[in-house]
Amino acid sequence: MKQSLVLVGAMLALMAGAFGQAPGAAQPAAAPAKPITDVDLKSVETPKPEARAKGDADGSLTGTAADVAVADAKKGLTIADLVNQAGQNKIAINFVWTLVTGYLVMFMQLGFALLETGLARAKNANHTMMMNIAVYGIGMLAYWMIGFSLQMGGVGAIANLGGTPPLSAEHAFTLFGKPFGVFGQNGFFLMHNGTNDVAVMVLFLFQMVFMDTAATIPTGAAVERWKFSAFAISSFVFAAFIYPLYANWAWGGGWLSNLGANFGMGKGYVDFAGSGVVHAVGGLSALAIAMVLGPRIGKFTRQGKPQALLAHDLVLVITGCLILAFGWFGFNPGSTLGASTSGNLRIGAIAVNTMLASAGGMMSAMLYMWMVYGKPDASMTGNGFLAGLVAITAPCAFVNPVGAVIIGLIAGVLVCVSVAFIERVMKIDDPVGAVSVHGVCGIWGVISVGLLADGRSNFGGAWNGVNGSVTGLFYGDAGQLVAQLIGVSTLIGAVFSASLVLYLAVDLFVGQRTSVKSEMEGLDLPEMGALAYPEFDLASRGVEV
Amino acid sequence: MILIGIGVVVLGFVISLLSLGMASTVNGRLVMVLLGLAVSLFGIIGVINRAFLKNPIWKR
């Protein structure tokens, strides 16, 4: 017994040592914090000019107190100067983060161009590339003139960017006793009502490249048969009105984002980086234009059986997919709009979730095609890769890594099944699978937030003005799922319908489809006046080059 | 027929929207939203697409 007591005593002593001081142990009294004063700052040494003149090989002389801007040279460095510098540094970090990730998203335009062109036939390569560069310019000008204002003109202050006070006018009406924001009113031409503002410019660049991603998606479904003039008009209206309105409802302070605050439905409609706002909007618009245009000549037999119209360059297709995946590291982590604010350190988790979902999508699509059709089809593997990325775009900030992989795995199978359904049952010709990748998997991404958001994210303690973290059905909040489904219903009911009306109207006045002769010849010469590959094409026609 | 289909698709959206005012419980809203989605999907697949397939290019 005595030996046991000694042993227990020794163990307690060891545990006390292992876990540090036991609670209640006497602690040395902490010295009261001494506030820094301007006088203290006078004693901070800065590098001597003669030392700096010799060069700073090890970097120890660059970036010191001498680089802090002082408001009054006579007073020298003050606490106020330091505080201002800290604030400026925070906003500068967020500006740089948002801009650089925006540049990455812009680079995705190349990915789309290569992907779509590779999946088209060689005789349409110039036309397809032209649509992908033209939509950038056309869409940007429409968005600058009108779209940005409708989308973000009433978003209010965005703290990560130092506040965007000029964007403060949201048009709303009252329904069911609650305000329903429908469009913003400030920011036309980036000059209206004080919007020529540094923070607004950063926001514009980032939002513009997102809009451009959505605007380029319909070109994939319409490839090889869309009249260029009709494409230009349609893209302008899409960028000026259709995309911005839904984006306002979800991101610009509109009614969908306030479903939580106004109707107690979770944290309102949540779409972190745009599975719905960007991809489903683009994908449903792609469905509308594919319906209006009809299938390419030769796509279906007289009995309605689909035929393969072979892609002309799978190297371009896979290169495009990989470029898009690279750009997605701007798309998703960049949507924090900053790297230096509460919650923004989740950028690492967001990036990892993004890549895990892409791997899940690629693997499941590849295995599905392998098992069902006997070969791991390259274009569908690429589409599965993109499907995982599209699906994780909305939930990337709110799910854990296991959830991200599940979302990607489901998206990869979903895109394969959807492509077959749209082609064989609906008899719609979508040469690149845009409707399935962006529309169907975008909708899946929106729904997955309502299922798999784990309630562990913390972006300043609230989302869409509702305290707490975004939590899905499987983690206890069924209301979040309903909010997401209302967003999906809005995408299908409002965005698809508006797109269809737009494309039918342009078809009525301009005509959406090229002539049969142009289509048979390939659109490069009749629509663009130049072949993409003149040597190959002319040589195949027996012309010496 | 296409215009009727667009009407059906929009009707589905309206049903979902009405769930905000007509139902006060999560379950009630969920049922209405799912109904709205079903109506919209029927409008796209069953009405609009069928209208476009009445005279498809491969039969001309």
Chain B neighbors of A292, CB-CB under 8 A? 52
pLDDT score of A26 more than 80: no
What whole-number distance in Å separates Cα of residue A53 and Cα of residue A65? 17
pLDDT of residue A42: 80
Distance of residue A286 Cα from the nearest chain B Cα, in angstroms = 13
Record: contact A486-B20, CB cut-off 8 A: yes
> Residue A493: which of B9, B29, B48 has the nearest Cβ?
B9
Neighbours of B28 (CB within 10 A): 13
Element (H, E) at A419: helix A401-420
Chain A neighbors of B21, CB-CB under 8 A? 175-176
Chain B neighbors of A496, CB-CB under 8 A? 9, 40, 44
pLDDT of residue A157: 87
pLDDT tens, A343-397?
788 999 999 999 999 999 999 999 999 999 999 999 999 999 999 999 999 999 9
Note whether A180 contacts B: Cβ–Cβ < 8 A.
Answer: no
pLDDT score of A8 more than 90: no
Record: contact B16-A493, CB cut-off 8 A: yes
From the list A402, A314, A413, the residue with the least C-alpha distance to A361 is: A413
Taken as a whole, chain B contains a residue count of 60
From the list A346, A364, A465, the residue with the least C-alpha distance to A407 is: A364
Residue-range domain boundaries for chain B? 2-52
pLDDT tens, A437-450?
999 999 999 999 99
Handedness of CA A366, A372, A373, A375 (dihedral sign): positive
What whole-number distance in Å separates Cα of residue A400 and Cα of residue A472? 12
pLDDT score of A415 more than 80: yes
- The least confident of A4-13, A281-290, B1-10 is A4-13
What whole-number distance in Å separates Cα of residue A376 and Cα of residue A366? 5
pLDDT tens, B1-55?
999 999 999 999 999 999 999 998 999 999 999 999 999 999 999 999 999 999 8
Taken as a whole, chain A contains a residue count of 545
Distance of residue B35 Cα from the nearest chain A Cα, in angstroms = 10
Count the helix, strand and coil residues of chain A and give each as a percent rounded to the nearest 5.
Answer: 65, 5, 30
Record: contact B19-A486, CB cut-off 8 A: yes
Fold of A88-179+192-528: Ammonium transporter fold (1.10.3430)
Q: How confident is the model at residue A17 (pLDDT cuts 50, 70, 90)?
A: very low
Distance of residue A390 Cα from the nearest chain B Cα, in angstroms = 21
pLDDT tens, A81-108?
999 999 999 999 999 999 999 999 999 9
Long-range CB pairs of B19-28, under 8 A, 24+ apart, other chains included:
B19/A482, B19/A486, B20/A175, B20/A176, B20/A259, B20/A263, B20/A486, B21/A175, B21/A176, B26/A265, B26/A478, B26/A479, B26/A482, B27/A478
pLDDT of residue A24: 43
From the list A118, A503, A40, the residue with the least C-alpha distance to A317 is: A118
pLDDT of residue A18: 42
Record: contact B13-A302, CB cut-off 8 A: no
- The least confident of A25-29, A117-121, A163-167 is A25-29
- The structure tokens 């506030």 sit at A35
Tokens describing residue A17 = 């040592």
> Residue A490: which of B11, B13, B45 has the nearest Cβ?
B13
pLDDT tens, A301-310?
998 999 999 9
Record: contact A478-B26, CB cut-off 8 A: yes
pLDDT score of A22 more than 50: no
Chain B neighbors of A265, CB-CB under 8 A? 26, 29
Mean pLDDT to the nearest integer, A457-477: 92
Of B30 and A3, the structure prediction assigns the larger pLDDT to B30
- The structure tokens 């006046």 sit at A529
pLDDT tens, A122-173?
999 999 999 999 999 999 999 999 999 999 999 998 889 998 889 999 999 9
pLDDT score of A23 more than 70: no
Instruction: Return the top range by mean pLDDT from A7-11, A32-36, A334-338.
Output: A334-338
pLDDT of residue A126: 96
Mean pLDDT to the nearest integer, A310-316: 93
pLDDT of residue A51: 87
Residue-range domain boundaries for chain A? 88-179+192-528
pLDDT of residue A5: 47
- The residues near A344 (Cβ < 8 Å, ≥ 6 apart) are A94, A160, A336, A338, A459
CB A341 within 8 A of CB A460: yes
What whole-number distance in Å separates Cα of residue A318 and Cα of residue A114? 9
Average pLDDT, chain A: 92
pLDDT of residue A545: 61
> Residue B36: which of A478, A479, A489 has the nearest Cβ?
A489
Chain A neighbors of B48, CB-CB under 8 A? 291, 500
Record: contact B10-A301, CB cut-off 8 A: no
pLDDT tens, A172-201?
999 999 999 999 999 999 998 889 999 999
Note whether A479 contacts B: Cβ–Cβ < 8 A.
Answer: yes
CB A463 within 8 A of CB A268: yes
Interface test with A, best of B20, B32, B48, B50 (most A CBs within 10 A): B20
Distance of residue B29 Cα from the nearest chain A Cα, in angstroms = 7
Tokens describing residue A443 = 């909708």
Alpha-carbon Rg for chain B in angstroms? 15
pLDDT score of A4 more than 80: no
Mean pLDDT to the nearest integer, A462-477: 94
Q: How confident is the model at residue A461 (pLDDT cuts 50, 70, 90)?
A: confident
Record: contact A492-B9, CB cut-off 8 A: yes
From the list A399, A424, A411, the residue with the least C-alpha distance to A304 is: A424
Q: Which residues pair with A471 in a beta bridge?
A: A454
From the list A17, A336, A38, A345, the residue with the least C-alpha distance to A160 is: A336
Chain B neighbors of A486, CB-CB under 8 A? 16-17, 19-20, 33
- The structure tokens 């300043």 sit at A460
- Residue in chain B lying closest to A176 (CA): B21
What whole-number distance in Å separates Cα of residue A470 and Cα of residue A449? 8
Record: contact A300-B44, CB cut-off 8 A: no
Record: contact B16-A489, CB cut-off 8 A: yes
Percentage of residues in chain A having pLDDT higher than 90: 79
Chain B neighbors of A287, CB-CB under 8 A? 44
